[in-house]
Each structure stands twice: as structure tokens, then as C-alpha cells.
A and B are shown apart, each in its own frame.
Chain A
């Protein structure tokens, strides 16, 4: 099997290392993270729609802290999954796709898509800093959708190119 460009391998490894570290940090510092998130929400009452009613505000804060923790958890799990995927899928592209430009495009798309889990890190920070709905919207629009689309397009293009390469091989 041919190996993909070093930069693509580095992206996969970097994402794996980030994912492992995030898992350890969120597990060890869960109370501190929740406390920090609650403090940031309390410091931005308007963005979170806090009304000054203790019962209501506690519920809103709890929901937003939960969303931030979910973002960190998704970051961990997606990073652990997508890191190896970038390395393996780009290896398939390096080995099977015979066209240099097409191979380069697939590698670029996979490397970009490999950064998709960072969107969940943005998600976790944005829900705390910008409010739950606005934060999710920002993360989805500017990070998760573009990077996730790059991964999807890269994998679909790889599938098409593998099929096309096979057909070319048969014809030759």
C-alpha cells in the first residue's frame, strides 16, 4: 500500500492526539469545566436569555452546560474515529487512484474533512459564549457543515475514482 502525503498523515495523527487528550481532560476536569461554563453563562445573561428567576435560569444554565459537555464528548469520539479514517482512506486514494490531480484533490478534501471534529470544539465554546441556539448555529454553519461536506465529498469522490480506475485497468 502506498502512503499518502506526510501532511495528510499528520492531520490524521493530530486529530487522534487531540481526541485522546480531550477525552482525558473532559474526564478528569468535568466539574471544573461545568463550573467554568456555568460562570460564563452567568456572565452573559442576555445572550442566554436568563430572566432573573432562579428556577428558570437554573434550567437554562443546566441545558447549556449539558450542550457544552456534549460538544466536548462529540469532539473526543469524532476525533478518535475520523483520525484513523483520514489515514486509511487517503492510503486507499494513494494506492488506487491513478490520476495525480484527482488523487491530490481527494487528499486535500480528506485532510480538510479530518478537521471536522474541531467543529464540536467550536460548538462547545460557542454555546457557552453565544447562547445555546446561536452557538450551535455558528458551529454548524461555519465549521461542521463545510468540513463535514469536505469529508463526504472526498469519500464519494474516492469511491467514484476507485470504480473509474478499476474500469480503466480492465480496459487496458
Chain B
């Protein structure tokens, strides 16, 4: 159906990005289950090889607590990637489809679709980056890097675009009323 009351498809690149993100999330979830021990062993080994980055002092009781916390956050980062990537894939499809169909101005529509796609795909990858950086740089440094490199720019893009779209649709609804 392509009538006036029909949805328009977003660009193929947006759909492909969303589908790949969802596929990545599913692979991530499966890998988490399958390689849980190997991942934990690798992270532990990397942490032990970089005692200064984690503030390890050489006292077993103290160090084990620090390592445990880093491993919990490492695991949480992978889980959050899985969760957010699954969700953001669907959010990208829903929001870009809405923008493609209901935003009349060409340049605005293109900008919105770009922000929604790039922001939506990039944001979950921040959790993967955070998780991967934890064994090398410690929990807080890794978080700061992920925040400034990915979460703030990509998440910000997605949030700005989502509210922009809400505002455009809201105005359209008001005009119609």
C-alpha cells in the first residue's frame, strides 16, 4: 500500500543499520552465554596485568574486591550492550519510518533520519566500548572515555532528534485540530 495514509519506508541504509544492530545484539547475547567463562578469564588476566590502572595494592583481600567489582561492571557493560542494541534497533526503525512519512521538509527529514540512525546505532556500542576498556583502564576511566566518545555525542544526537520529531508531530496535530 502506498496511498496517502500509508507508511513510507525509511532509507535502506537506516533499515540495514537497525537490522545489523539487532543482529549484533543477538550475537552479543548468545556470546555472553556461550563464552562467559572465557570472557571473564580474559578480563581478569588483563586486569591483573595492569595493577596500576585498577589501583591494585598487592594485598589479596583488597585486590579481590576491586577485581570483582571490575568484572561485575565488565559483565554489566556487555549485558547493557545486548539490551540497548535490541531496543535501539526497533527504535531506529519506528522513528525513521515516522520521519520518512510525516516530515514534509526534505532537508529536515534527511537530518532527522541521519541523527536517529547514527545516534541510535552508535549509542549501544558505547556499552561495548566501556566493557572492553574496563580491563585496560579501570571502571571509572573507561566510563569517562565511553561517555565522551560515544554516549554523549551519539545518545545526544538520538535524544535531540527524538524530541525534534515529537515537536514537529505535535505541531502538526495542533494545526490539524
Per-residue CB contact flags for chain B residues 138-173 toward chain A (1 = under 8 Å, else 0) read 000000000000010001101100110110011011
Range of interface residues on B (Cβ < 8 Å): 20 to 34
Q: Report if A80 contacts B (CB, 8 A).
A: yes
User: How distant is B148 from chain A, measured CB to nearest CB, in Å?
Assistant: 12
Range of interface residues on A (Cβ < 8 Å): 20 to 34
Given contacts A2-B7, A6-B176, A27-B151, contact A87 B1 (CB under 8 A): no
Per-residue CB contact flags for chain A residues 82-95 toward chain B (1 = under 8 Å, else 0) read 01100110010011
Given contacts A2-B5, A27-B151, contact A9 B98 (CB under 8 A): yes
CB of B102 within 8 A of CB of A77, answer no
Instruction: Give the distance in Å from the alpha carbon of A144 to the alpha carbon of B158 in the complex.
Output: 27
Which residues of A have CB within 8 Å of B91?
A: 16, 20, 80, 83-84
CB of B166 within 8 A of CB of A20, answer no
Question: Which secondary structure dominates chain A's binding surface?
Answer: helix
Instruction: Give the distance in Å from the alpha carbon of A94 to the alpha carbon of B101 in the complex.
Output: 15
Q: Report if B6 contacts A (CB, 8 A).
A: yes
Which residues of A have CB within 8 Å of B87?
A: 77, 80-81
User: How distant is B129 from chain A, measured CB to nearest CB, in Å?
Assistant: 15
Q: Report if B66 contacts A (CB, 8 A).
A: no
Closest residue of chain A to B93, judged by CB?
A: A84
Per-residue CB contact flags for chain A residues 24-52 toward chain B (1 = under 8 Å, else 0) read 10010000000000000000000000000
Listed by A's residue number, 14 A-B pairs whose Cβ atoms lie within 8 Å are A2-B6, A3-B5, A6-B176, A7-B173, A10-B170, A16-B91, A21-B163, A24-B155, A80-B87, A80-B91, A84-B90, A84-B94, A87-B97, A94-B5
- Extra contacts, 4 of them, besides A3-B5, A24-B156, A88-B94 (Cβ < 8 A), are A9-B169, A13-B95, A21-B159, A87-B97
